[in-house]
Structure 1
Amino acid sequence: MSGIAHDLSHRLADRAEAVCRHYLSNGRREGRYWLVGDIRNTPGRSLFVRLQASAKGPAGKWTDAATGEHGDLLDVIRGSRGLTDFADVANEARTFLNLRHPEPEPSTLRRRVVPAPAGHVEAARRLFAMSQPLAGTLAETYLRRRGITLLHGTGNLRFHPRCYYKPGDGPSETWPAMIAAVTDLTGRITGIHRTWLAPDGSDKAPVDAPRKAMGDLLGSTVRIGVPDSVMAAGEGIETMLSLRQVLPNMAMAPALSAAHLAAILFPPALRRLYIVRDNDPAGDAARDMPMERANAEGIEAICLSPTLGNFNEDLQRLGMDALRACVRLQLAPEDVLRFMSLPR
């Protein structure tokens, strides 16, 4: 940030609430935050502007929980006024700062300014909190259309009816979305994953990148079920939920990508890890690293491979019986009895 921008941003932060009342007039104050839809002053509650410096960060910083965007009050002026050139933003800020407003309380000025938390973790937690349980939503419709009907223990999966999506340099859009909480070994949310959906839940939304994650994902996963001595870990949420159709009592850990699968943290009680691979080069690479790490920690690692591209393809195209037969041949014998569902 340039010296001019830094100075203006600091001066605006000293008058954060006045800035919000002037440029984000469709919002309102709640506690130490100003809530509004976005920096364009859309009515809503997705964007949080911090009004006072605290241990969570300096005054004037904002995060949009729906998009993961963040910035300062210069960005608020830019977005609310539709400005593009910094010179215009700076002139608008100077005009505002020349207005007579009550000075902030001295105690506010004396507070220590600390950096905002990295990785949009706070925004991820807010978005998950604003989402609703999976049952009866378009997210459940989406999963059932993919053959996934066993949804017990999926509290880390939720639904948001109007989740913001930003297509490159274009304006933000809203689509329904399946929201997945990414948690560490203690169950603390460190990030979220969004799968934007078609308006009828029949498929993913027709956008360039219908899946995006935000937050601190390294080592964490979307945890489905409670792991004990045995669990399965793989890449995609739908892939792991498909495997769970035939292993309903085994804990699943979608890591969301091949790179994150290679870096997952193992629960202390884990003794056997099933590594679920996709049939592609990335799947081979994702399999090898956690297998080496598990073996080094005395954990037995067994690879589970689909017949087709992934286990959701197997479930949809080959059916439940074929999926069950494929998985059964690859399980440890004792886990067949312990975890595998019987044909109906």
Structure 2
Amino acid sequence: MTDKINDSNNFNNIHNAKTDIENSKTNSLNHNVAVKLINGDIADGIVLLSDNNSLRADNTLKESINQLINDWKNSKFELHDRLIIAGHKEAENINQNIRNYMKENGALKGPEYSILISGAESKKYANYMAGDRIVFQTNDKDLQIQNSEFATLVSIDENKFVAKTDTGEDISFDLNKISFKHGYATTVCNPQTAVKKDVYVLHNDGVGIESSNISMIGNAEQVRLYYNVQATKNVANLIEQLSTAKTDSINSKEENNDVQANEVRQYQSAQNYRKNDYYSNSEEELQKLRDAIVDRAETIARDLLGDPNERLSRHGRIRWGDHGKIQVTTEGKYAGKWYDFSTGEKGDLLSLVQRERGYSFFEAKEYLKSIVGMSNVRQQYPRYAMTNNDSQQYTQQPESVKIAKVQNLYELSSKIHGYDIDKNPHAEVVNKYLENRGITFDKSTASSDLKASILLDTQTRENYPAFTAFARNSKGEITGVQAVYLNLAGDKANISINRRSFGKISGSFITIAKRNANDPNITIIAEGAETALSLQQSGIKGNIIASAGIRI
């Protein structure tokens, strides 16, 4: 059903072909809608959408999603010119439905790769094939990509994905380094890198048009807004919800001014960012960024940490991890703050980005600016040298030397499975570590690249038994290793960094299992050898490989 203020039912007319003159008028109208919404004239903006047959109401959220997807399928615009904006759960639903449609109609080609995006117990995967739309979740200077930038996959294999960005650039990237997800529907838009002609907005109980997404409407040739009467009774209620959301945003900024001004001073003193950051801007700009990210706290946290623990989360306090170890506050005086109950660490979202993504302070700012729509396009930035005692000297060595050391470690390490295993103490410790995680080996199928080693921790100057998983490149050559330092009880060692990667990780993977002829033709990519082993242990068939890239 269509809810139009003047009660006419011409919503389907938006499918009609438009002349250049009509397109010009539409662009002007959409620009006016965006201006109205930005200025807080919600009612006038919604009236303009309604008068342009761009407002759609359905009975339920499911009906709204179905109608949106159907309109998307019938769009006259190219795939890369379409964009759907929705809440997190709705975006996941839409992405899956559209992807199924694309696959059934032959738009996706070649082998399918399945990447584990949550713990082994929940077994939540994201599947990718050539032809899939993706959106990047990271900035990369070398590849010239920004967070929230869209692309289409051209080809994929277990070593690299090749994609064409919407700006026309062909890029090849390593799964160990670049974070991405399906990009048919998204929650976060960077209007500087994602100018789209055909925009669909799903509004559900106050979630839909956010401040950083409004400019997407102004740049589009065609815009449609969908809502459901279960969550939004009528147009008046829609206007009320959008107005309330904007008022809450303003109040939230005022409430956090004193707290965040103090944080700015503390962070400037601690990081001395004006000295180190060549592109550093004024305190006023940093304050604007902090205000903006408070309004998007939940979106940013989900982008960094994935799906939260719904069972342990409460309104305004969202928890992540099986035991809810990380909490992010999204409402009230402390909105935008996080706390890790397992380590006692805490801070604002800038520090969380640095911790989770391994970014410098400047890189963290650029990442957050791209999410809230403040980022400069293609801005270059320096990368500062690592200062970790363990890695500083190591990173200065030539790559060939690093690989040779890893290959030598492979020869010196002990077998922990198979018919001819080593019985030495450190191998027994590694087996105990795996058994504690519920992992046992099938002698006939276990990978020979999983071993037990003895490694030196340069900070404590002590040797530790270590579970080592060796990674190979596309030629089958060992190039890198992922190591977990252990204590004699078979638990992770109590040192500052107990999981590390050495050698050349880019383009290499740890092979856990290879598919048999009767197994499904699918490749599952997990983060870490233990997670991949748990998947094999649970009986999953197919190629199972693990990413060896670990931030230390």
State the TM bucket, normalised to the shorter chain.
0.3 to 0.5
TM-score by length of 2: 0.25
